[in-house]
Amino acid sequence: MAHEVETAMFFAKPAWHGLGIVLDHAPTSTEALAQAGLDWTVAKQSIQLVDGDVIDDQFGLVRQSDGRVLGVVGSSYEPVQNATAFAAVDEVLGGEVFYESAGSLRNGKTIFILAQIGETQVSSDDRLIDYLLLTNNHDGTQKVRIFPTQVRVVCQNTLNLSLRRQRGLRNPSIQLTHTKSFAQRLEEAKGSLAACKAIRERWNAQVAAMAQTKMSSTEEHDVLDRAVDIIMARGITETIIDRQTAQANGSYLDAMLAETTLTDQKKAERARIKRDGILSTILQNLDRERDLGGDSAWSLFNAIGSFADHQMHGERTSAEGHFTSQLLPNGTAANVKSQVLDLVLEKASIQ
């Protein structure tokens, strides 16, 4: 399953996939560790071949509760245990910590811990909840990462979304290697969280300002025009208009190849149709956002952001998505939203 959930714990609100334990109270780190099914440890074990030889400087990462091999690492690698990860969040935040969710993904290869650190009321119907997310891989592929997010992580999909948004909104993160100096590095990195907090506070202030700012029709038109330029430049809008062409030609790849045989006039016409299609979709989003949050710069940003998150790639098969991601590795929703945010803030004169 795409959610990749093995075990999990959630406070008050169930996850979309319906898995895991839902608690009616905010748990302590000790309780969250147990309720999330994370009360197990990982150990390095020598790798022995069938002929009895032991591989030098290579070790298996083995979950002690069931003997599952999670990954292969070198001699300098030191596992960061789940209990240590919870202790790190407790130490970083200090005081009473409000744990929102925690769990094991990919059969123990990835774990996540999410703690609530505050909220901002944007309007009567819209609020932003700030979380601190720790994610750790037990397969040797990633560092321990700690960073603020506004995504409620409940599965692999939402973890990926949080990671993408962290990059797209340029949030700093603490990244710690799996070595014996983990505790020392965590202490040294604590200062970085002050920068994280400052950036989140600035972001929340910008959101509040956008929600209170009504842009002129000229300013709004300029943002929309330049936003469509950014999206078109990414080259990732083929499915908005080209889906019917792709179906007629038999495949998405055929449609992409057919594009190279068009005359300049035809290409210009196709580009115009694409542009009109993108703008029309964003304007529909904007009508919905205005119904929810009023006529503001925040509604405009959300309308374009919704397009980037949910409509920019259309409905593709996995093969088509793989082809496009290989062709356009920088064509991400996060990059588009980051540039659009700068546009909206500039036009709305928000610092």
Residue-level pLDDT at 53: 85
Residue numbers of the domain that contains 312: 214-347
pLDDT score, position 88: 87
Mean pLDDT of the chain: 79
- Predicted confidence at residue 154, as pLDDT, reads 58
How far apart (Å, rounded) are the C-alpha atoms in residues 311 and 306? 7
* Mean pLDDT for the stretch of residues 319-335: 41
Give the pLDDT of residue 96.
Answer: 77
pLDDT tens by residue, 214-259:
999 999 999 999 999 988 887 544 444 444 444 444 454 555 555 5
Task: Fill in the amino acid letter for 344.
Answer: V
Alpha helices, H only, 213-329? 217-234, 238-249, 252-259, 264-293, 297-306, 318-327
What local confidence, expressed as pLDDT, does residue 158 receive?
55
- Rounded CA-CA distance 110/107 in Å is 8
Same domain, 42 and 103: yes
Q: Read off the pLDDT band of 109 (50, 70, 90).
A: very high
pLDDT at 38: 96
List helix spans (H) across 94-181: 156-168
Q: Identify the residue with better confidence: 166 or 348.
A: 348
Residue holding tokens 């400087």? Answer: 57
Residue pLDDT, tens place only, 110-140: 999 998 887 777 776 677 788 888 889 999 9
Q: Average the pLDDT over 176-199 and give the result.
A: 78
Domain count, the chain: 2
Identify whether residues 64 and 192 lie together within a single domain: yes
Residues 46 and 186 in one domain: yes
Are 92 and 202 within one domain? yes
Q: Are residues 227 and 203 in the same domain?
A: no
User: Which helix or strand (DSSP H or E) is residue 131 part of?
Assistant: strand 126-137
Ranked by mean pLDDT, which of 96-110, 197-211, 238-252 comes out on top? 96-110
Residue 238 amino acid letter: E
Identify whether residues 202 and 146 lie together within a single domain. yes
Tokens 């596992």: give the residue: 79
pLDDT mean over 276-291 = 91
Q: What is the dihedral of CA 240, 242, 246, 251, to 10 degrees?
A: -70
**CA angle, 144 as apex, 142 and 149 as ends, to 5°?**
105
168 lies in the same domain as 272:
no
For the stretch 42-51, contacts whose Cβ atoms lie closer than 8 Å and that sit 24 or more positions apart, written own/partner, are: 42/70, 42/79, 42/81, 42/108, 42/138, 43/79, 44/73, 44/77, 44/78, 44/79, 47/72
Residue 320: the pLDDT is 34
| CB neighbourhood size of 328 (10 A) | 13
Which of 178, 207, 236 is the endpoint of a domain?
207
Q: Are residues 145 and 190 in the same domain?
A: yes
Alpha helix locations (H) across the chain? 29-35, 82-93, 156-168, 182-212, 217-234, 238-249, 252-259, 264-293, 297-306, 318-327, 333-347
Q: What is the pLDDT of residue 336?
A: 83
261 — pLDDT class (breaks 50, 70, 90): low
* 202 and 226 inside one domain: no
- Residue 296 has a pLDDT of 92
If pLDDT is split at 50, 70 and 90, which confidence band does 189 have? Answer: confident
Same domain, 342 and 269: yes
Q: Which of 188, 207, 226 is the last residue of a domain?
A: 207
What is the structure's pLDDT at 3? Answer: 59
Percent of the chain exceeding pLDDT 70 equals 77
Evaluate if residue 39 carries a pLDDT over 90: yes
My answer on whether 168 and 257 are in the same domain is no
- Give the model confidence (pLDDT) of 78-94 as tens digits: 999 999 999 888 888 87
Do 101 and 219 reside in the same domain of the chain?
A: no
Select the more confidently predicted residue: 16 or 7.
7
DSSP letter for 106, please: G
The structure's pTM equals: 0.65
Last-in-domain residue among 207, 241, 260? 207
